[in-house]
Every structure is written in structure tokens, then in C-alpha cells.
Amino acid sequence: MSNGKSHRGLRSARWFASSGLRAFGHRSRTLQMGYAYEDFMGKPVVAIINTWSDLQSCHAHFRTRAEEIKRGVWQAGGFPVELPALSLSETFVKPTTMLYRNMLAMEVEELLRSHPVDGVVLMAGCDKTTPATLMGAISMDLPTIVMPAGPMLRGNYHGEVLGSGSDVWKYWAEKQAGKISEDEWRAMESGIARSYGTCMTMGTASTMTALTETLGMTLPGASSIPAPDSGHARMATACGRRIVAMIGEDLKPSDILSRASFENALVVQMALAGSTNAIIHLIAMAGRAGVDIGLDDFDRVARKVPVLANVRPSGAFLMEDFYYAGGLPALLRELGDRLDLSAMTVTGADLGAALGGAGTYNSEVIRPLDSPVSDALGMAVLRGNLAPNGAVMKPSAAEPRLLKHSGPALVFKDYDEMDAAIDRDDLPVTPDHILVLQNAGPVGGPGMPEWGMLPIPRKLLKQGVRDMLRISDARMSGTSYGACILHVAPEAYVGGPLAAVRNGDLISVDVDKRSLELEVRESEIARRLEEWQPPKRDYPRGYNQLFAQHIQQADKGCDFDFLAGTEPIPEPDIH
């Protein structure tokens, strides 16, 4: 082991190395599984947290990748143990995987605490699995490295390149407008996701793995490798080798994650025009690391960092192109002195050293600072009487005409009401209206589903309208686009001002001024809120009840109040 950490110094030795009866049981049961003493005695035990499942298409290759990680652990003299964890398939889990992000974070932390392990490789990628597994590992604070799932290959439809998510929304709008047949829709459906791996747009998955690499928690370049590429398998094995060395060096998340690390992540978030979901996740992750990051930090950095990644939905290309253009190391190199290159990484060296010989091989995909993708900001934080604790928007993904707009509200009290009305021919809506969705936040959703990209009403689609202002306390998919104002805090369900909006109320948005105002007298807003009652949410037992009682608001990262903070939990008594 690197740096010669003694066998007795290993955490796992508490389980295996003593002469007591409990250790006898641990050793005999390990032998029962067919291992020899030489396989595990005195060796660092590496947990491999695997978020594979039969309903997790993004992680379909994780069975194989787990074996490749094990190969690296064995090569380096460690003992690998695979621990399955909640899969959180973005496509299939309802109402939203966000409802279960904190459950997975708890599971990872407790898996690591309760088992005889000295370090961990986190297998993550699909949207919530990256922040969730990291949150748990940060709180446990054992040597940790992340093996990102990698993006899928480009989609293809009749010779046209498709991007998952982004093109779904685009073509769905055309279908609703009557411009695409059912057969054409089915042909696109079969060509948009051609391999395992996460969405190949700059959605939440690619955003969060890129930010994880920026934080120093992956091997250099790991987040950009397409999932089916042979380099991805080699990276998995390298993760297995490196975690054994990290255990020997006792290199933990607390040694890597600093204020500088998270400031770097904020810079990269803006350069990527990354998913708005990253705001919630970074705030929660930083809180677990004892770093105070808030909405004002995001807005401050957004004003100074242009969009350099020409990747959908804010750009033209896809993640496969981004990888061939040099990947995240190339983007970091382009950002230069906007980053603190002294921040530590899992390599044991700082971020500057980890960049090595990184270069940009296609300047159309990864732009230099003096030729950004867009003058529009990758992110903006809006405040006002409608969102006193903040709301977020991605201006680079919206039609410019909507960045300063006043219009009447068309209000839906919940998703079901919106879904039932949005395509009605008699819906009283014009392109100047602002669609408002209430009670879709952390408690009201529940779980803050990705309902924030409210569909354009069908009658407007037929008129050629493809974007309009939409406001909610929900989130939206990182692959989405449009003038969507999200994460309104506090949410309507807990009595936030969003609950006071009525049909016809004038709402004014000015992104340059960062303002979001309900043009109603404050006394009238207060009167409405006094009379307001939340819709019934009956959670008599179980996880939903726990969630509703302990979830924090979006501006606080939606962590559970009892999980937040850095106070360590005592090690289990194994005697």
C-alpha cells in the first residue's frame, strides 16, 4: 500500500484482525464465500457502491464496470467488495428521483459505516446518483473516488443527429402542432438512445459528473469518456488501482473538498451552461463538506464566466463531440486563471497538475474565452416579492425576447390541473401570458419533480409559438430549454408568495435586474396568503411522511435537516 499504512491501521482490521469471537465470525463467513485468507487478511477493503439495476438504462454497463474496478483493486493489492445501492433510474422512478436522492445518500453513508471497508469507489452517473452517493461518502469521509457512467452515443434519426431530452421536447412540440406523424415519432423514438450511458446532452447527468471531476473527485478526464468507449473500461480499472493507493495515503474527501474546489465548480457550471439542477445539488454537497455555498455565489460567478461549451441544450453539439474536442480537461485549460488550480484532487496532486497536457482539438465545440458560445448567461438568480429566497433561470436556453417581459398570469394549482387544461382549444392563453405552476416544490410535489418546463399550450404551438415564460417551484430536466423560472423559494405549498398568484395578475421579469415581481399590493398578497390553504397531501406513514417533515427548501439544497452539517457519527461497536 502507498505510504505504507499498516494493516493494523486499516479500519477493516477492527472486523478481521482481532483474536476475539466476533472476528472469528467475520473471517469464517468470508471464507464461506470462497475467499482465502490471502485474499482479504491485512489488505485494504474497497467498497464498490454499484447503482446498477434492470430498470437503469444509463447504468446498464455497470455489471461489467464493477468487475473492471475489481480487477484494478486486485492489481493494487486490495480486496474489493461490491455493495448494491438504490439505482434511481431517472426514466422510470416516479414521481421523481429527487424524492429519493437523500435516501440514497443515507444508504451510502450507512453502507460504508456499517461494513468493514477502508475506502470506496462510487459508481454513479444518472442524474441524482452522483450527488447522492457523494453526499453520503462526504459525510462518512473515507477515501473516495467516483467512477462516472459516461454519456451515451449520439442519437440518429434519418441522418440527423439527435440529443436525448432536448430533441424529445423539440419534436414533441412539432408533433403536438401536427407537423410530425406517429410513424415519424416512432422512428425517432428508436434512434434517440443508441447505447447505454447517460444523456449525451449537457443535462443533469453530464453536468454533475463534470462538476465532480472539477471538484477533484474523479480521475482527470473521466467524466467525458462515452460509456461504450474502450477507454471507459480502462478508466474503471484505473479507479480500482487508485483507490487502494488513496487508502494508503489516507486521502479523504475532507482533504480534497475546499472552498476553492466549490468555487471552481461554480465557474465550470457557468462555462458549461450546466443544468439548473446542479444548483440544488452543489449547495447540498457543499453543506456536507462544511462549505457555505448559496444562490448569491452562483449569480456572482455567472456574471463573470461566459458559456464555452457548445453543447445542447444551450449549444449545437453533444457530449461525444465534447470528448473528442478534449473533454473537461480542455475546458478547464481554456478557463485558465478563472480557476484555482491549487485545489486538491484524488490523484494526490492539485488540479493544475491533473490537467497535464490537456488541449482543445475542436474550438467550435469548446470555445476560448474570447469567443464564447453566447453572450447570454448560463444561469441567473432572480429575487423579488414572488421569490424572496430566490428563483433560478438559464437565460442561455431562452428566447432573448423573454428576458425582460411583463404579462398576465395563467395559474395552475398543481400538475394535474395543468395537464388537464394545457391542450384545450378554449384555454384562455396568449403568447404574452406567463404560465404559473404551484405546489410542485420539495413538499408540494412531493420531491420537486421536473415539471418546471411547462408544455407550451397546443393552441399556441399551432400558431408557431415555441417559447414563453413559465414560473414554478418545480425543477426542470437539465436537457430542457426555454424561458423557465424554477426553484421559486419558499414554495407555494408551505405558504410562499407563489401561492398568492391569481389568474390575470401581472408578473414582471427582468433578468438584467435579476427581478421577479408580482404586481399586486403587498397587503393584498398578505390577505390572500392568510386565506390560502394547501392542497391535501396525506402522508400517514413511511418515507413520504419523513420527507415532508424534514426536507429543506430549494435555496438550502433540499437536504434533510437531520443529515445536514459535518458532525461525525460514532463508528459502530463491533464487539
191, 212, 240: which is the final residue of a domain?
Answer: 191
Note the pLDDT of residue 357. 87
3-state secondary structure of 381: strand
The residues, ordered by sequence, that sit 6+ positions from 89 with a Cβ below 8 Å of its Cβ are 53, 55, 56, 57, 58, 59, 97, 126
552 falls within a domain:
no
Element (H, E) at 264: helix 259-272
What is the DSSP annotation of 280-300? HHHHHHHHHTT----HHHHHH
Note the pLDDT of residue 179. 86
273 falls within a domain:
yes
Give residue 527's identity as a one-letter amino acid code: R
> What is the number of domains present in the chain?
3
d(C-alpha 435, C-alpha 363), whole Å: 38
The residues, ordered by sequence, that sit 6+ positions from 383 with a Cβ below 8 Å of its Cβ are 389, 390, 391, 514, 515, 516
**All cell numbers assigned to 295:** 444562490
d(C-alpha 311, C-alpha 433), whole Å: 30
3-state secondary structure of 378: coil
Instruction: Indicate whether 187 and 222 sit together in one domain.
Output: no
Q: Is residue 374 within 8 Å of residue 396, measured between CB atoms?
A: yes
Q: How far is CA 70 from the centre of its chain?
A: 26
Element (H, E) at 527: helix 522-531
Instruction: Indicate whether 447 and 508 sit together in one domain.
Output: yes
- Residue 342 burial by Cβ neighbours in a 10 Å radius (0-12, 13-18, 19+): exposed
Q: Is residue 307 within 8 Å of residue 267, measured between CB atoms?
A: no
Instruction: Indicate whether 92 and 145 sit together in one domain.
Output: yes
Instruction: Indicate whether 242 and 101 sit together in one domain.
Output: yes
Note the pLDDT of residue 475. 97
Instruction: Indicate whether 23 and 106 sit together in one domain.
Output: yes
Range of the domain at 164: 155-191
CB contact burial 218-251 (16+ within 10 A = b; e otherwise): bbbbbbbbbbbbeebbebbbbbbbbbbbbbbeeb
Instruction: Indicate whether 29 and 91 sit together in one domain.
Output: yes
Strand partners of residue 50: 84, 123
488 falls within a domain:
yes
d(C-alpha 388, C-alpha 15), whole Å: 51
421 falls within a domain:
yes
Instruction: Indicate whether 169 and 145 sit together in one domain.
Output: no
70 falls within a domain:
yes
Q: Is residue 232 within 8 Å of residue 224, measured between CB atoms?
A: no
Instruction: Indicate whether 439 and 424 sit together in one domain.
Output: yes
d(C-alpha 340, C-alpha 355), whole Å: 12
d(C-alpha 506, C-alpha 267), whole Å: 35
Instruction: Indicate whether 289 and 416 sit together in one domain.
Output: no
546 falls within a domain:
no
Note the pLDDT of residue 6. 53
Instruction: Indicate whether 395 and 487 sit together in one domain.
Output: yes
d(C-alpha 131, C-alpha 211), whole Å: 10
**All cell numbers assigned to 470:** 413559465
**All cell numbers assigned to 248:** 494508503
Q: Is residue 218 within 8 Å of residue 346, measured between CB atoms?
A: yes
d(C-alpha 477, C-alpha 169), whole Å: 10
Angstrom CA distances, 82 to 46, 49, 117, 128, 404, stand at 8, 6, 11, 20, 52
Instruction: Indicate whether 120 and 208 sit together in one domain.
Output: yes
Q: Is residue 252 within 8 Å of residue 341, measured between CB atoms?
A: no
558 falls within a domain:
no
Instruction: Indicate whether 161 and 228 sit together in one domain.
Output: no
d(C-alpha 148, C-alpha 160), whole Å: 28
Strand ranges for 413-468 from DSSP E: 434-437
Longest Cα–Cα distance of the chain, Å, equals 79
422 falls within a domain:
yes
CATH code at 486?
Answer: 3.50.30.80
Alpha-helix residue ranges (DSSP H) falling in 115-258: 129-140, 166-176, 182-191, 204-214, 230-249, 253-256
Q: What is the pLDDT along the chain (575 residues), one digit of tens a residue?
A: 444 455 558 999 999 999 999 999 999 999 999 999 999 999 999 999 999 999 999 999 999 999 999 999 999 999 999 999 999 999 999 999 999 999 999 999 999 999 999 999 999 999 999 999 999 999 999 999 999 999 999 998 888 898 887 787 778 788 888 888 888 888 888 889 999 999 999 999 999 999 999 999 999 999 999 999 999 999 999 999 999 999 999 999 999 999 999 999 999 999 999 999 999 999 999 999 999 999 999 999 999 999 999 999 889 999 999 999 999 999 999 999 999 999 999 999 999 998 988 999 999 999 999 999 987 888 999 999 999 999 999 998 899 999 999 999 999 999 999 999 999 999 999 999 999 999 999 999 999 999 999 999 999 999 999 999 999 999 998 878 899 999 999 999 999 999 999 999 999 999 999 999 999 999 999 999 999 998 887 788 999 999 999 999 999 999 999 999 999 899 998 76
Give residue 193's identity as a one-letter amino acid code: A
Q: Is residue 518 within 8 Å of residue 524, measured between CB atoms?
A: no
